[in-house]
Homo-oligomer: A and B are copies of this chain.
Amino acid sequence: MDTKVLDAFTQEYKQLLESELRTLVEKLNAPPNIKEAMHYSLRAGGKRIRPLLVFATLAAFGKDPKMGLLAASAIEMIHTYSLIHDDLPSMDNDDLRRGKPTNHKVFGEALAILAGDALLTYSFEVIGKIPNEIASSETKLQLVIEMAKAAGSEGMVGGQVADIEGEGKSLTIEELEYIHIHKTGKLLKYSVIAGALLGGANHDQLENLKAFAHHLGLAFQIQDDILDLEGNTELLGKPVGSDTTNQKSTYPQLLSMEGAKEALQKQLVLSKQYLEDTGLNIHLLNEIAELVASRDH
């Protein structure tokens, strides 16, 4: 498959996003240390898959992807806060994230917790400040509500709770799916929802895009589990086999490696089917789905 179009798109919008994140934090009138702690984790990079989903969904509607810049920034702030808090000693106790020392290793636990709190809080202000030319107050409010649902106890935070409670236990496939649908899936789905709401989706388009994102999120997580066993420590930025070390249940463990790879293909096919049904210009979203399933980090 020719991925040159997605590569160029990714490069352009990653750069725009990273510059916007810098600007958004830079203009805060706040103690220098917390701004530095916020910057540190925001610029730690990563695939920026959530922002790319916002931009690519807007592109699917034939809209200027830049319309999603603030929503994408808000989502990346929430994702980043969740990584900072997940890495804390009382949670996953990770020293490395994307090959760099984790936030609390550099700034201490107190500032790491507060930097996470500040990013989460700021994300709602950033959504609130989307210009009126881009979205009506009604749409912005809907973005606020859906983002809170995706990130809170009914979404990402709920998934993290289930993940922690599941450690050291052998989970059923349903329990494992609950964790992933909530911990990773809801915010990925919200990224597509945000692009769709800003793009002016009708009811059917929104439903199909949600189903696309749901299956994409599961594919993403299965590939994550596969990479944890078959990946490359250097590319991953964390030790291979860390799920086993942390006594986490994984798809390969529950389904065998072969079964996990089959499940991944099944989710990928489902996600692309729903995408097809939107009737939109799905070229970029399709490529992102391919990328998620075949990525090496």
The residues of A with any CB-CB pair to B shorter than 8 Å are: 28-31, 33-35, 38, 81, 85, 88, 90-91, 108-111, 113-114, 116-118, 120-122, 124-125, 127-129, 136-138, 140-141, 144-145, 147-149, 151-154, 157-158, 160-162, 164-165
Contacts of A144 in B (CB 8 A): 124-125, 127-128, 141, 144
Contacts of A129 in B (CB 8 A): 145
Determine if A141 and B128 form an interchain contact, defined as CB atoms under 8 angstroms apart: yes
> Beyond A90-B109, A128-B145, A141-B141: 6 further Cβ-contacts under 8 Å?
A28-B153, A29-B154, A90-B113, A122-B152, A124-B144, A125-B149
Contacts A30-B153, A118-B157: A113 and B140 contacting too (C-beta < 8 A)?
A: no
Nearest CB in chain B: distance from A42 CB, A? 13
Determine if B113 and A153 form an interchain contact, defined as CB atoms under 8 angstroms apart: no
Partner of A161 from the list B29, B34, B147 (CB cut-off 8 Å) is: B34
Contacts A121-B148, A148-B121: A31 and B128 contacting too (C-beta < 8 A)?
A: no
Nearest CB in chain B: distance from A168 CB, A? 14
Contacts of A164 in B (CB 8 A): 110-111, 114
Q: How far is the CA of A129 from the CA of B138 in the complex (A)?
A: 11
Determine if B124 and A30 form an interchain contact, defined as CB atoms under 8 angstroms apart: no
Nearest CB in chain B: distance from A229 CB, A? 25
Determine if A153 and B35 form an interchain contact, defined as CB atoms under 8 angstroms apart: yes
Partner of A34 from the list B38, B81, B145, B157 (CB cut-off 8 Å) is: B157
Q: Determine how many copies of this chain the complex contains.
A: 2
Determine if B31 and A162 form an interchain contact, defined as CB atoms under 8 angstroms apart: yes
Contacts of A136 in B (CB 8 A): 137
User: What residue of chain B has the Cβ atom nearest to residue A104's Cβ?
Assistant: B90
Determine if B31 and A117 form an interchain contact, defined as CB atoms under 8 angstroms apart: no
What's the dominant secondary structure at chain A's contact region?
Answer: helix
Partner of A158 from the list B31, B90, B147 (CB cut-off 8 Å) is: B31
Contacts A91-B113, A140-B141: A154 and B108 contacting too (C-beta < 8 A)?
A: no
Q: How far is the CA of A152 from the CA of B87 in the complex (A)?
A: 21
Contacts A122-B148, A152-B125, A153-B30: A113 and B85 contacting too (C-beta < 8 A)?
A: yes
Contacts of A138 in B (CB 8 A): 137
Determine if A34 and B153 form an interchain contact, defined as CB atoms under 8 angstroms apart: yes
Partner of A120 from the list B38, B120, B162 (CB cut-off 8 Å) is: B120
Contacts A125-B145, A125-B148, A141-B137: A158 and B117 contacting too (C-beta < 8 A)?
A: no
Task: List 3 A-B pairs, minimum CB-CB distance, nearest first.
Answer: A90-B109, A125-B148, A121-B152
Partner of A113 from the list B28, B30, B31, B88 (CB cut-off 8 Å) is: B88
14 contacts between A and B (CB under 8 A): A31-B153, A31-B165, A34-B161, A111-B161, A113-B113, A121-B153, A122-B153, A124-B147, A125-B144, A125-B152, A127-B144, A137-B138, A137-B141, A141-B144
